[in-house]
Chains A and B, each alone.
Chain A
Amino acid sequence: MAMSDEIRLRFEISGDDFTRAGEASSSVKKELKKLGIDPQAVRKVAIAMYEGEINMVIHANGGAIDVVIHPDCIDMILKDNGPGIENVALAMQEGYSTAPDNVRSLGFGAGMGLPNMKKYTDEMQIETERGVGTTVTMKVHI
């Protein structure tokens, strides 16, 4: 890839469909593999994006994800119009979860999603406002 080249992908995430959650992350994973990007970087992006995607479905009634593939890094911007996160520091703690019982029975609600996103990315920012929504920005170096 030349420096000027970047690939942009956009995904609309529907808020009520658990069975389809993860499809956006899977298709990004496929695309990155096809581009021959280092498997370890691909795995990081796949895990971080999936956690963000599923959070949008469970906690924010869906949203949109932009992925930008640069020659030296991958940016992910996840934007939703959900309820926002009241206390980001608390939400970032392992084990903190407000997931309802119906999704806990599916295996969600360990309170590890946001910590995983932090762990598997090189940069991560959360902008959030109560009643307005949340934007999570993540970067993985290649």
Chain B
Amino acid sequence: MTVYTLAREAGFTVEAGADAEDREVKGVYCCDLLSMVMGRAKADTAWITVISNVNSLAVASLADVACIVIAEGVPVDAETRAKAEQQEILILSSPLPVFETGLAIHRCIGAAE
């Protein structure tokens, strides 16, 4: 399932990354500590976090995740949004807490298989 399909099915909004590639999502990873994400997140996963800043963008790009999902409806600031557009990184926003967000994605990807 691709990021846009996932966003639609799970009811998440696309916050940034209009020009980014609509990549296939192959799993879920949740963590807020950046170097934990660097070390443990697999490529092509949806990365769920509540921290949204420009440093998360670098991590998402270098760890090669499919998209960032900001949980708990935490707002994405203008600078992060602008940089995400520029670096072509997809950011989704979920109103749900981290666990429920992960569960929703897991169910969507599972159902699509």
Tell me the minimal C-beta distance from B96 to chain A in angstroms.
Answer: 20
If the complex has contacts A21-B58, A43-B64, A47-B62, are A116 and B35 also in contact, measured as CB distance less than 8 A?
yes
Which residues of B are found within 8 Å of A47, using beta-carbon distances?
38-39, 62-63
Whether the Cβ atoms of A116 and B58 lie closer than 8 Å is: no
Contact of A107 among B33, B62, B63, B64 (CB under 8 A): B33
Whether the Cβ atoms of B62 and A113 lie closer than 8 Å is: no
A31 to B98, CA, bound (A): 35
A-B contact count (CB 8 A): 76
Whether the Cβ atoms of A112 and B36 lie closer than 8 Å is: yes
B32 within 8 Å of A by Cβ?
A: yes
Whether the Cβ atoms of B43 and A107 lie closer than 8 Å is: no
Contact of B62 among A25, A108, A115 (CB under 8 A): A25
A42 to B102, CA, bound (A): 28
Top 4 closest A-B pairs, CB basis?
Answer: A22-B58, A110-B33, A112-B35, A107-B34
Q: Name B residues whose Cβ lies closer than 8 Å to a Cβ of A.
A: 32-36, 38-39, 43, 49, 51, 53-59, 61-64, 79, 87
Q: How large is the interface on A (under 10, 10 to 19, 20 to 34, 35 or more residues)?
A: 20 to 34
Determine the residue in chain B with the shortest Cβ distance to A108.
Answer: B34
Whether the Cβ atoms of B51 and A106 lie closer than 8 Å is: yes
